[in-house]
Structure 1
Amino acid sequence: MADSARRNDTAAKIVINQAEIAKFGDPSVLDVMKRLPGLTVSDSSVRMRGLGNGYTQILLNGERPPAGFSLDSLAPDMVERIEIIRAATAEFSTQSIAGTVNIVLKKAVAKASREIKSGVGAGPGSRSQQLNLAMSNKIDAFSYTLGATLLHQNAHLAPVESVDRRDAAGKRLQQYETRSDNDNAYTAVNLNARLNWKLDGIDSVTWQTFVADGRAHGAGEQSTSTSAGQRHPYAALQTSYFGNTTSVRSDVSWVAGIGGTGRLDTKIGVALSDNQRGLFRVARNDAATPVLDRDYVSDIQDEGLSWSGKLSMPWARGHALGIGWDTGHNRRGERENQVDRVPPGNVPFDFDNGFDARITRVALYAQDEWDISPAWSIYLGMRGEAMRSRTSGAGIPTSRSQLQVLSPLAQTLWKVPGAKGDQLRLALTRTFKAPELSRMVPRHFYTSFNTEISPDFTGNPRLKPELARGVDFAYEHYWAEGALVSASASVREIEGLIRGEVAYNGGRWVAVPQNLGTAHVRGIELESKFPLKAVMDTAAQVDLRASVSRNWSRVEGVPGPDNRLNGQPRWSANFGADYAKGAWSGGASLALVAGGWTRDALYESKLRSAQRALEAYAVHKFGPRSQLRFTVLNLLKVGQSGSARYADPYGSVQSDERRAGYVSWRAQHEYRF
């Protein structure tokens, strides 16, 4: 079904079904993403074409998730499918310069089912427990799906950071090393409910609610030893923290038939989120004298109301016309408070800041899918999006901003005559990336230890959206049942690029975002998957898959080399195999992502370590109702490392951080009743 949709839809889309999502028994959807074709995961950010941080759009049931929502908190059992959309369509927001990942929650009910999954996992310094419950049923015209997931994780982390500061001649001015010893705990709860009433014809009413709640807390100690130059002010630092995130989305949708051939889909929804953070620090210097006793807490609340709809109708033979709208209003408030208890003679660095924002968005779109012939189809779309925001708060001026973006879109699919299974795709897109609200608030955000590589941040209310023109081309060859070879290439030209430039204001280092210059992005991707039986009739039941991506980008205004956009890796690759025989099945996956230096600004560079994630799983079925799944992770024992460097004509400072890697495992029992 997924392969059929990918092959025949004019708008290019890869669909990952629930069976693929559940293979490795992952605790979160974020873990699933790193094995999907064309995707990489870095710092909890999903990237397409090597670009994250807002360039890749993440949707939940076709809509942006509530503020503060994290893929870390979404259980794979809640998901029906994942859609990877490489070129923008008018139906979804065109805030998708790199592409869109749409996560569709479970809703299909074919028959009554009940399932319980319980799992445990462990590794050096870590352990986890998970419980999943799911049930669904269909009673005449009424059907329902209910799900609940509970996850608890404990982890011990011991990163090591070294900092080296030198003058313009290369003479060392300062060097110190910080060793951390942290214990963290995380608990997440997911709840999902969907009720559907089937009316006459295609008419139906559906209510769906999703709740995600995550609670994290931890404590740690840091010891810093200075080997050269000025002593680090915090020789011994004790920290504790908490982070609580709750997000709720509930909507009611109505489907109605119009005139026998038309269809109206409309949905109204409400979203709520609350994101609380706290960080508490106590430090002493080399002489064991107290120098820091600081409490910091923040709270971000978001309330939103949305209304969307789509009218579909065949207005002429071979045409499928769609006209729709997407509107919403959000109210967001942020508060942060810091209290210093300082020794006599020192000045406390206290603040109590906050702001409130109102955001209104309206989008209108029209699209037409035209089947010119059995071998050739065209998709044409136009989407206009407008946003308006107003921000105010104590100590900051009231600011207003607005943006309007018109996005013409075109895609075409041509099935080569006489060449069974060969087809070509072409897409032309106009997309954008709106600046994050936090980057537009004219307020000063402070760091606890201010340096060139850890600067303060000041928002800029004059930021404009980044605009991009895109071209995508793909060749696909379907040569057997379940077998595919594809090659694709893409180009993005981005204008109004937002970059943060770090500068010293006489007292502190500060980063200020600005629209500076353009960026040029290129990429190619090769993908292949096939069952081994397609090439060997007597082969075992083995499915093979591979995808390889090569990326190029260049930011104007930032000198090279390595002036790539958004820390884009030069290449990435995914390889996998699955085997099944009788009651046993299993498989393995290898995800590779290139590392290296990228130059983010005139004086700033970052080094990201290469990623090599080798994982394997095995499943044994005890019967039609019960099975055991076992997964081994990080078989190559790859750790993590990274560096940040600031170098100007007066000198340089570089921070290097490393963290060891270990093998871990998970076991999960699944029972249907």
Structure 2
Amino acid sequence: MRSNFRYRPLALLLLSGVACADDGTLQKVEVSAASGTVQREADTAARIIIGRDESGQYGDNNLAAVLKRQPGVSVVGNEVRMRGLGAGYTQILINGDPAPPGFSIESMAPEMIERIEIMRSATAEYSMQAVAGSINLVLRKGASHAEHEWKLGSGRVDERFNPSASLRVADKLSGFAYAVTGALDRTADDTSPMTTERAFGPQGQLLALRRMQSRNASSVNKASLSPRLNWTLDHGDSITWLTLLDWSRTRFDGAARETLVLGPASDYPHNDATARASIFSARSDASWVHSFGTAGKLSVKLGLNHSRRDTDYAFQGSGSDDAPLLLRAVISNAIDDSLTSSGKYLARLAAGHALSVGWDGGAIRRSEARRQRDTFFAGGQPYALDEDYIANVGRLAVFAQDEWDMTQRLQVYAGIRWEGLRTTTEGRTLPPVRSSSGVWSPVAQLLWKLPGTARDQLRLALARTYKAPTTRNLVPRRYTVNNANSATNPDFQGNPALRPELAWGLDAAYEHYFGKSGVASVSAFARRISDVTLQQLSLQNGMWITRPFNNGVAQVRGVEMDVKFPLRTWLADAPEIDLRANAARNWSSVDAVPGPGNRLASQVPATLNLGLDYRVSPMTSVGGNLNLQTGGWARQDAQAGSYAGVRRTLDAYALWQPDGKTRLRLSLANLLGQKQVQGLSYAGDAGLRESMTATPGSASLRLMLERNL
């Protein structure tokens, strides 16, 4: 149900002084493989927990590689998806708070993370913008004892070296603890994608065929620093200050050369592009926890966030004879500032019964400026475009939730959350844009430990979630392509009339736990999404443009399974091997799009992971994981479609520990080196047009030395 969202700025200002922090468990729980399984078994709200040891097992230098091996999670490009759904259906949280606009999970160094929580269903405490589910990145915790750890490593991919280093220093004193974690990392690659474009007439005759061979060299230099201070006060109170600073410098150099077989050439058959970007982000929050003894606990948090991106881009288009035709220079920047706060009071009503009420507010300001200068060497008039806009977003939410162990075998969670958003955007070349929405989101979860069994249980969850439009999709600014505008390579323009997508979701699961850390689970889910956002492709003044719009209802459903256990659980004399497997099958259909293949947001149909870890000796361990993501054609509307090839990835590692403080880790990623294929198609009255891009894959090697002092 939608409602108008109105509140006075003064109310937001007053509420910003109080913030919702976790009741302490978020930051203070050490999670091993065994304890992660125990916590998964005990929590009323279904979640999968990946501890620091597990996330660092393969020596990955980005979190996307860690997450692709988890049940029900897929990775497409830089986007992490649950239920296979892209386009923002999966919510990314940092310490329980929504990640800031423009956040990329690859920008977060794994060394900064204490654990990862995968939540299949929503809870009232967190934002309900989680149609597919939520992934919560919990930053490194405070110290319980003195810690000194450093890591040095280097990788090699596409004949380019990728060095890395990290350092952590922490200690606990009387009434005070501190921890500082820092990381440096460089990633670089060099790819050579080939794009083939074909056009067919109404009778199927070939009208055009051209190939574009590209070479793209990119690099990212990153630095991260996260200090954390914690004071323990009288009567059990505590104050925590936590900051995360990230710097990155990116560089891109690309060249493309077209081979014409049939039909017309593109506007710029030979073209080159360079891009330089500087990105800085700072996240800082202070939290206070006050204990009322056995009666309850009050948590308060206030946070500040800032990020800035500066980009310098140049495109040079030439003819097939290398004669220069166009020089396009673009300088842009984007700045995001926000003040966030939330608060929760936890009342312990009785043994196994807790009631929480709280609120969550924030004020976000995003400004973007872009200056474009085009020079035409064939005699055209120079073109200049200066654009800027400022978007102000207000967010306010209130929630209540009740967790109750009704019996020894029945646990119930019930909650309700109201969340409102108001966005105001204005700019030099844009008309003012205003958007507001409010959503009531009830949620209920049930955990039933089956009678007559030791550790078998059923889960059931019902929740209403939503997905708010992004600022980019709301602003009616036009983003133009540099070369060969077509139905398969259109411009993009936002739509200020977009509404939030609303969803009802049902989740069910059967879980069986055995041994110290064994688990086998089968689950199913269903979602009904209204006002689903689709892309509308149209031809305007000879230029193809796509824009988002709301159009009807979509149905999403699927099943998942995962199992992991030590082999010795079943064979006492077996080698020390841990086995794991998970698989997911997803379906969706959009009512307004004719089938077959009318999947929502080009949903990944299926994922599969098979892995093992073998402790060869007290000093040596090895392991491997095979990941599979299926693809195929998906229809965006009656005429347009997209294609994604099957992705197969094989990763492996070897770990040598000569003593209790030293580790030498060898990681091998993407050993199959499979070619990645993606494509677009458009079928209209004039015939069929399709574009297919194939990017060769390459394996990477990484060696890391880790030392605890």
Sort the TM-score into its range (normalised by shorter chain). over 0.9
What does residue 523 of structure 1 align with? 558
What does residue 584 of structure 2 align with? 549
> In 2, distance between residues paired with 1:555 and 1:125?
44
Q: CA deviation at 1:317?
A: 4.8
Equivalent of residue 293 in structure 1, options 316, 327, 340: 327
More displaced 10-residue stretch of structure 1: 111-120 or 227-236:
227-236
Alignment of 1:377-456 (within 5 A): 377-449=411-483, 450-456=485-491
1:650 aligns with 2:686: yes
What does residue 479 of structure 1 align with? 514
Q: CA deviation at 1:263?
A: 0.2
1:638 aligns with 2:638: no
> In 1, distance between residues paired with 2:644 and 2:352?
50
What does residue 576 of structure 1 align with? 611
SS in 2 for 1:10: coil
> In 2, distance between residues paired with 1:278 and 1:30?
27
Q: CA deviation at 1:277?
A: 2.4
Q: Which amino acid aligns with 1:550?
A: R
> In 2, distance between residues paired with 1:592 and 1:376?
37
Whether the aligned pair in 2 keeps the contact of 1:543 and 1:579 (CA below 8 Å) is yes
SS in 2 for 1:314: strand
SS in 1 for 2:499: coil
What does residue 342 of structure 1 align with? 376
Bigger RCO of structures 1 and 2 (CA < 8 A, at least 6 apart)? 2
Q: Which amino acid aligns with 2:618?
A: G
Q: CA deviation at 1:259?
A: 5.1
> In 1, distance between residues paired with 2:687 and 2:574?
62
> In 1, distance between residues paired with 2:638 and 2:332?
32
Equivalent of residue 193 in structure 2, options 159, 181, 185: 159
More displaced 10-residue stretch of structure 1: 586-595 or 119-128:
119-128
Alignment of 1:170-569 (within 5 A): 170-258=204-292, 260-449=294-483, 450-569=485-604
| C-alpha distance after superposition, 1:334-389 (max 9, x if no partner) | 11121111125324443111110111000000000011101001000000000111
> In 2, distance between residues paired with 1:297 and 1:647?
36
SS in 2 for 1:627: strand
> In 2, distance between residues paired with 1:556 and 1:612?
31
Whether the aligned pair in 1 keeps the contact of 2:295 and 2:349 (CA below 8 Å) is no
> In 2, distance between residues paired with 1:425 and 1:476?
8
Whether the aligned pair in 2 keeps the contact of 1:69 and 1:247 (CA below 8 Å) is no
Give the alignment's Cα RMSD to 1 decimal: 1.2
Whether the aligned pair in 2 keeps the contact of 1:66 and 1:248 (CA below 8 Å) is no
Equivalent of residue 136 in structure 1, options 170, 175, 188: 170
What does residue 646 of structure 2 align with? 610
What does residue 90 of structure 1 align with? 124
What does residue 590 of structure 1 align with? 626
| C-alpha distance after superposition, 1:558-592 (max 9, x if no partner) | 11111111111211011111111210112111111
> In 1, distance between residues paired with 2:201 and 2:513?
60
> In 1, distance between residues paired with 2:602 and 2:682?
15
SS in 2 for 1:424: strand
> In 1, distance between residues paired with 2:309 and 2:99?
14
What does residue 62 of structure 1 align with? 96
More displaced 10-residue stretch of structure 1: 15-24 or 228-237:
228-237
| C-alpha distance after superposition, 1:64-102 (max 9, x if no partner) | 222232211211111000000000000100000000000
More displaced 10-residue stretch of structure 1: 478-487 or 99-108:
478-487
More displaced 10-residue stretch of structure 1: 336-345 or 468-477:
336-345
Q: 1:631 to 1:101 in 2, by over 3 A?
A: same
What does residue 40 of structure 2 align with? 6
Whether the aligned pair in 2 keeps the contact of 1:68 and 1:275 (CA below 8 Å) is no
SS in 1 for 2:74: strand
Whether the aligned pair in 2 keeps the contact of 1:184 and 1:218 (CA below 8 Å) is yes
> In 1, distance between residues paired with 2:579 and 2:123?
30
What does residue 661 of structure 1 align with? 697
Alignment of 1:33-72 (within 5 A): 33-72=67-106
Q: Which amino acid aligns with 2:320?
A: D
What does residue 23 of structure 2 align with? none
1:624 aligns with 2:689: no
Q: CA deviation at 1:316?
A: 4.2
SS in 1 for 2:98: coil
> In 2, distance between residues paired with 1:552 and 1:520?
8
> In 2, distance between residues paired with 1:536 and 1:147?
41
Residue correspondences, number: 673
Q: Which amino acid aligns with 2:628?
A: L
> In 2, distance between residues paired with 1:357 and 1:403?
16
Is there any run of 5+ residues in structure 1 with no aligned partner, and where?
none
Q: 1:286 to 1:318 in 2, by over 3 A?
A: closer
What is the percent sequence identity of the aligned residues? 38
Q: Which amino acid aligns with 1:593?
A: Q
SS in 1 for 2:234: coil
Q: Which amino acid aligns with 1:546?
A: A
Whether the aligned pair in 2 keeps the contact of 1:68 and 1:245 (CA below 8 Å) is no
Whether the aligned pair in 2 keeps the contact of 1:35 and 1:591 (CA below 8 Å) is yes
| C-alpha distance after superposition, 1:99-143 (max 9, x if no partner) | 000000001422111011000111333321000111111011111
Whether the aligned pair in 1 keeps the contact of 2:71 and 2:584 (CA below 8 Å) is no
SS in 2 for 1:315: strand
> In 1, distance between residues paired with 2:441 and 2:470?
20
Detail structure 1 runs of 4+ shifted over 4 Å in the superposition: none
Q: TM (normalized to structure 2)? A: 0.93
Q: Which amino acid aligns with 2:690?
A: Q
Q: Which amino acid aligns with 2:246?
A: A
Q: Which amino acid aligns with 2:326?
A: L
Q: CA deviation at 1:180?
A: 1.2
More displaced 10-residue stretch of structure 1: 400-409 or 230-239:
230-239
Q: Which amino acid aligns with 1:133?
A: L
Whether the aligned pair in 1 keeps the contact of 2:158 and 2:191 (CA below 8 Å) is no
Q: 1:19 to 1:259 in 2, by over 3 A?
A: closer
> In 2, distance between residues paired with 1:547 and 1:298?
43
Is there any run of 5+ residues in structure 2 with no aligned partner, and where?
1-34
| C-alpha distance after superposition, 1:285-304 (max 9, x if no partner) | 12433211111222111000
Q: TM (normalized to structure 1)? A: 0.98
Q: Which amino acid aligns with 1:423?
A: Q
Whether the aligned pair in 2 keeps the contact of 1:67 and 1:273 (CA below 8 Å) is no
Q: CA deviation at 1:155?
A: 1.6
Q: CA deviation at 1:201?
A: 3.1
> In 2, distance between residues paired with 1:553 and 1:419?
35
Q: CA deviation at 1:260?
A: 3.8
Whether the aligned pair in 2 keeps the contact of 1:146 and 1:192 (CA below 8 Å) is yes
Q: CA deviation at 1:443?
A: 2.1
SS in 2 for 1:417: coil
Q: Which amino acid aligns with 2:605?
A: R
| C-alpha distance after superposition, 1:317-341 (max 9, x if no partner) | 5420000110000111011121111
